[in-house]
């Protein structure tokens, strides 16, 4: 027994490995038989590539292990390895196309292009300004200035020369601001420019030009017709603008009622199409035409009286023209001041009419010799008191209306701040500080 234990232990593995080696050598030396299936030829480059079969049924059951390092360090070499020169070219093309599209967007943001209407407005203003200056100061048309012809055909409703001297620079100054601003990207396609004013301003400039020439040559019938046409053109502009403002104000009130905005001030200035004062759009797009129309509304009956003086008709006709037209204008101005529609009231047109009536009344305090020879004291006193009354009443209504609307707006602000609180079952109202 002890002898068996002292014998060395021979492992079984070496004999087993030898037997396996003999089997492998036999397999290598075996010749292929006809029964074996011949495999198709395979491209060695393709054969060297590792091919992994993916079980699509169980693919979604396994999730890849989380990366050991940050994703930024791993994805960078993978993208670089998978990209080709064509891919890099396409990426550069896409970047260049994105840059060009961004440039186009920037160009679009600069505003729409100018149209013929914008150029005609500027051309009409420049020609009207030039002819008015040449006719009023230089006497190019007929050899006499506008002031000299006005003194020659003095009427019962001719305003003081001082009042006339101050109103025309204001008109041409603000219309010049309009002619320049409507070329800017922010205003060139504004609804008040394209639809509210349109081509009517150019026609008004043509009528103003015609009046300057015909009045210089003392063609009073043609001058009266051109003044009437100018008055109609300016009133058309005002009517169009008032209609647009009323529609836009109704839209704003609808937004307030729906709860989209709290009040009118929440509307951004670039989205506000009403051009309400004191915003710059009001002074550039609405104010010039209200001033011009207010002055021409009193100059039109004046031109009719000048025509009557030239025709040497009875002086009572002048009196009747003044008695009918001035109170009619006074009633229209009161309607503009007291109306309650959206965008109301309008202060500029009535203010200019009041200014013209004050000028007529001031002139009749010391009438010229031409007026004294044609009219008696009763007619002069009647027209002086009538124009003074119209001017005073309009100014009182304008000031009181402004104060009343200001106080109403302040009360509405405090009313919106009013809140309620319930204490022991009783509801109390209080005002926010």
pLDDT tens readout for residues 81-133: 444 454 444 555 455 555 555 544 444 445 578 899 999 999 999 999 999 99
Tallying the residues shown for the chain, one arrives at 433
Q: With a cut of 60, say whether residue 290 has pLDDT above it.
A: yes
Q: How far apart are CA 230 and CA 237, in angstroms?
A: 11
**pLDDT band at 272, cuts 50/70/90?**
low
Query: What does pLDDT average to over the chain?
Result: 78
Summarised one tens digit per residue, pLDDT across range 77-90 is: 444 444 445 444 45
DSSP state of 76: H
Q: In DSSP terms, which residues pair with 426 in a beta bridge? A: 423
Contact by Cβ (8 Å): 223, 215: yes
- pTM recorded for the entire structure: 0.70
Q: How far apart are CA 127 and CA 123, in angstroms?
A: 6
Helix (H) or strand (E) holding 287: helix 287-310
């Amino acid at each position: 027994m002890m002898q068996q234990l002292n014998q060395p232990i021979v492992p079984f593995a070496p004999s087993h490995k030898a037997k396996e080696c003999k089997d492998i050598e036999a397999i290598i030396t075996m010749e292929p038989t006809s029964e074996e299936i011949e495999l198709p030829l395979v491209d060695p480059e393709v054969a060297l590539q590792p091919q992994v079969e993916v079980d699509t049924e169980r693919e979604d059951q396994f999730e890849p292990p989380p990366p050991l390092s940050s994703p930024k360090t791993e994805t960078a070499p993978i993208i670089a390895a998978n990209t080709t020169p064509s891919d890099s070219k396409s990426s550069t093309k896409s970047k260049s196309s994105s840059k060009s599209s961004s440039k186009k967007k920037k160009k679009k943001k600069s505003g729409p292009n100018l149209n013929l209407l914008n150029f005609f407005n500027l051309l009409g203003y420049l020609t009207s300004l030039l002819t008015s200056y040449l006719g009023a100061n230089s006497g190019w048309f007929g050899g006499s200035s506008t002031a000299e012809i006005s003194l020659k055909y003095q009427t019962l409703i001719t305003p003081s020369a001082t009042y006339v001297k101050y109103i025309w620079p204001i008109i041409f100054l603000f219309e010049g601001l309009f002619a320049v601003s409507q070329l800017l990207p922010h205003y060139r396609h504004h609804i008040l420019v394209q639809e509210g004013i349109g081509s009517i301003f150019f026609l008004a400039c043509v009528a103003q030009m015609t009046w300057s020439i015909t009045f210089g040559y003392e063609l009073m019938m043609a001058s009266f017709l051109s003044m009437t046409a100018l008055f109609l053109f300016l009133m058309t502009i005002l009517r169009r603008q008032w209609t647009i403002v009323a529609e836009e104000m109704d839209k704003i009130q609808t937004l307030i009622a729906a709860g989209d905005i709290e009040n009118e001030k929440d509307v951004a200035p670039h989205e506000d199409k009403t051009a309400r004062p004191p915003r710059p759009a009001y002074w550039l797009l609405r104010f010039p035409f209200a001033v011009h129309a207010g002055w021409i509304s009193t100059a039109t009956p004046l031109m009719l009286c000048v025509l009557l003086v030239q025709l040497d008709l009875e002086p009572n006709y002048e009196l009747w023209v003044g008695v009918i037209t001035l109170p009619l204008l006074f009633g229209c101005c009161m309607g503009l001041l007291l109306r309650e529609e959206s965008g109301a009231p309008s202060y500029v047109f009535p203010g200019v009419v009041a200014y013209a009536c004050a000028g007529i009344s001031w002139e009749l305090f010391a009438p010229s010799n031409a007026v004294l020879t044609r009219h008696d004291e009763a007619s002069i006193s009647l027209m002086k008191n009538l124009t003074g009354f119209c001017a005073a009443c309009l100014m009182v209504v304008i000031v009181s209306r402004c104060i009343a609307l200001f106080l109403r707006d302040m009360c509405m602000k405090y009313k919106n701040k009013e809140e309620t609180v319930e204490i022991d079952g009783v509801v109390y109202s209080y005002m926010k500080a």
